[in-house]
Structure 1
């Protein structure tokens, strides 16, 4: 086929040379990703972050394409060219199962985007599956096995999912660009020059170690400064409580939701099919939220207005030692007229920036290995003091969210609100920014 290109702010040109990739991009399941934001609530903090899963998946594909091209040219004894198409395909499709408002929706309705990704790939009724079967009847299952980490070639699996993979490299650069920050920037060109296939995975040349360090530091900074931002998490809490209220009300007034938000009914009923899942996107959800603003239920209406109009909850940080005091705070919130079930929330964001391979852990990580001149491998943190400082250490915080009104004391509930603020000070909880 004649090469197609997509103009991209991160990679300049994204090159599509294989007809299978071109056809996958044109499927309705992949085009749906244009309507799914990459970082759904982050745009309420960093207003430029309106980019979508479609552009991210194209970016992951492009990095995978570049790497496999390098491997074919420079490492013919270590890389089988037959693995290039499945690597590029898995990179393109790795997030095709993401749903509306992503992880927040998943937690409440118990969906799993990775399971849906595999179903879209393997279900014979999808356009994606029809394209994949042009390669071979078992090609869809092979691609799905890369997603669930069971594919036998660990080189392919690590390129798509590891502590330094095509997915992470694209979303760090892309999210950094669209949020207008510089935390996630790193030297992708250098990393692509020093990445190497080995018998059972991938390694990086020793002279490229500092580029890998830079990548890990950038990832750490993005999590601390962007992904874990208190305002973005406040929107997540609002969204979770809004959907939780809708789920509660549905069983008391199903007719209201049948007329205002019919595509959510299968999720309320816990009887979802793949078509139901694919019918939802961020735009559909936002339309429902705007409709709910006029609901007679004061809680659903108020939460919808707060979400649509960005009226954030405030927060305090806490640790496990004073977590028991949060119940007293919730009681004071209730005394002022807010139902703590929907007007408070605990949001915990913790991240392990890097860790070595621990086979006995529940989810062992593939460590980053540096190739030595004698052909041996050495784990990155044993060579880098910077990475050693991050390795094995969990970073992040725990936040308790509550209505901003609790900090305003000039009303009938002034005494309770003053008591609320006194509790915060007495327990040495960190006051809101």
Structure 2
């Protein structure tokens, strides 16, 4: 038996109404310094510079994922019957802590440190010096390892991996609804309640009753539209490019800004350094760079702080690109070309069993979603598109 809180703790949430906490280990993890740090990490990277209300954090999203998993493991009979209490605790902790390793400005941090956020998350969970590790091991000596295994998608009970990471997982369901709400868009809305009511487990696979298929179709289209309309917004990319170019310049000049020294080539960032690195610290560094002797570094710091974004042209003609290049003196820093493929963001793919959403038919048989849905069958025929953009100083 795992210790429970004296009473069920509730946290108000705009997406789920309330977040319910009944286990002490969950409450302890929420109050750990590593989890509290997520208050200071935006959920959407550079999108808060495009959608002015998108100020929500990884903290809120992580609580939302936890709440969906809490409901899945308490309200869906076939899930409840397939796991014991210890396994439930494992997947609840994995849901809560799955984004612990995200750095400032979302995936930008991964790009300049060459480390995946899941790898950092596992390091923090397994490090005996972190508060979150101490919270987990206090509840059960094997809990840190089991949680790490779920995050790495290698837990021996496959359904636990699927709840956290699959085509229809709690992570995606929360971030689509939350990001749509916080950006003020309607692209990401779908019927979460209907999906939760129709989720089942059969043959160790998460699946959806045939009666819930239309809700899943809406979910798939919501994901597709959110990627192209929000997550891949060209102005958000422009902001991230400014940060990328700032650090390119910083690494090339002989100037020291203390908070940015951990980004020097060859420096291995420790867990303690990572925990201290949040967006507040990054903005402090950018403010220090306003007084740099280097004009280019100073300019990029100003652009980042005052939102002086690069202009952009999508799929430019040869003449358009030449016109832009002819008027830019420093092309190394003030001209940037990107190529985005929709291959990674196709609404749905069925390359293998793990990437398939399974439908439980009225005959109690499992079938791939594409065999039951004409809409999804058509979506699978979509071809990947590539969009090229040039970014440049205005």
Give secondary structure in 1 for the equivalent of 2:107: helix
Kindly indicate whether residue 15 of structure 2 is the aligned counterpart of residue 10 of structure 1: yes
Is 1:105–1:240's contact at 8 Å kept on the other side of the alignment? no
Match of 1:427 in 2: none
CA deviation map 1:350-372 (0-9, x unaligned): 3122111337xxxxx42100001
Kindly indicate whether residue 126 of structure 2 is the aligned counterpart of residue 134 of structure 1: no
Kindly indicate whether residue 346 of structure 2 is the aligned counterpart of residue 352 of structure 1: yes
Q: Distance in 2 between matches of 1:102 and 1:76?
A: 34
Give secondary structure in 2 for the equivalent of 1:82: helix
Compute the displacement of 1:245 (Å).
1.1
Please report the RMSD computed on the Cα atoms of aligned residues, expressed in angstroms: 2.2
**Bigger mean CA deviation after superposition, 149-158 or 295-304:** 295-304
Match of 1:96 in 2: 100
Q: How does 1:410-421 map to 2 (within 5 A)?
A: none
Compute the displacement of 1:373 (Å).
2.0
Q: 1:344 to 1:74 in 2, by over 3 A?
A: closer
Q: Distance in 1 between matches of 2:259 and 2:385?
A: 35
Match of 1:224 in 2: 228
Q: Distance in 2 between matches of 1:386 and 1:228?
A: 24
In the alignment, which of 45, 48, 53 is matched to residue 48 of structure 1?
Answer: 53
Match of 1:388 in 2: 377
Give secondary structure in 2 for the equivalent of 1:54: helix
Is 1:196–1:204's contact at 8 Å kept on the other side of the alignment? yes
Q: Distance in 1 between matches of 2:118 and 2:196?
A: 27
Q: Distance in 2 between matches of 1:81 and 1:50?
A: 35
Is 2:334–2:393's contact at 8 Å kept on the other side of the alignment? no
In the alignment, which of 150, 163, 172 is matched to residue 167 of structure 2?
Answer: 163
**Bigger mean CA deviation after superposition, 102-111 or 7-16:** 102-111
Q: Distance in 2 between matches of 1:304 and 1:397?
A: 31
TM-score (norm 1): 0.84
Compute the displacement of 1:342 (Å).
4.7
Q: Distance in 2 between matches of 1:195 and 1:287?
A: 46
Q: Distance in 2 between matches of 1:334 and 1:27?
A: 53
Q: Number of residues paired by the alignment?
A: 386
Q: How does 1:288-327 map to 2 (within 5 A)?
A: 288-318=285-315
Is 2:259–2:282's contact at 8 Å kept on the other side of the alignment? no
In the alignment, which of 267, 289, 297 is matched to residue 270 of structure 1?
Answer: 267
Q: Distance in 2 between matches of 1:78 and 1:197?
A: 8
Is 1:100–1:280's contact at 8 Å kept on the other side of the alignment? yes
Is 2:239–2:304's contact at 8 Å kept on the other side of the alignment? yes
* Unpaired segments ≥5 residues, structure 2: none
Give secondary structure in 2 for the equivalent of 1:3: strand
Is 2:335–2:393's contact at 8 Å kept on the other side of the alignment? no
Q: Distance in 1 between matches of 2:183 and 2:252?
A: 35
CA deviation map 1:278-306 (0-9, x unaligned): 11111111121122123221111111212
CA deviation map 1:160-212 (0-9, x unaligned): 00011000000000000000001100111111100011232210001000011
Compute the displacement of 1:388 (Å).
2.0
Is 2:328–2:335's contact at 8 Å kept on the other side of the alignment? no
Give secondary structure in 1 for the equivalent of 2:267: coil
Match of 2:359 in 1: 370
CA deviation map 1:371-423 (0-9, x unaligned): 01222101111211222222264556433333243xxxxxxxxxxxxxxxxxx
CA deviation map 1:57-77 (0-9, x unaligned): 000000000000023x45554
Q: 1:273 to 1:331 in 2, by over 3 A?
A: farther
Compute the displacement of 1:138 (Å).
1.9
Is 1:356–1:392's contact at 8 Å kept on the other side of the alignment? no
Q: 1:238 to 1:398 in 2, by over 3 A?
A: farther
Q: Distance in 2 between matches of 1:289 and 1:345?
A: 24
CA deviation map 1:90-138 (0-9, x unaligned): 0000000101112112112212211100001111111111111123222
**Bigger mean CA deviation after superposition, 387-396 or 33-42:** 387-396
Q: Distance in 1 between matches of 2:92 and 2:81?
A: 20
Compute the displacement of 1:86 (Å).
0.9
Q: 1:87 to 1:345 in 2, by over 3 A?
A: same
Compute the displacement of 1:145 (Å).
0.6
Q: Distance in 1 between matches of 2:45 and 2:182?
A: 13
CA deviation map 1:17-55 (0-9, x unaligned): 000000000000000000000002101111000000000
Q: Distance in 2 between matches of 1:75 and 1:96?
A: 26
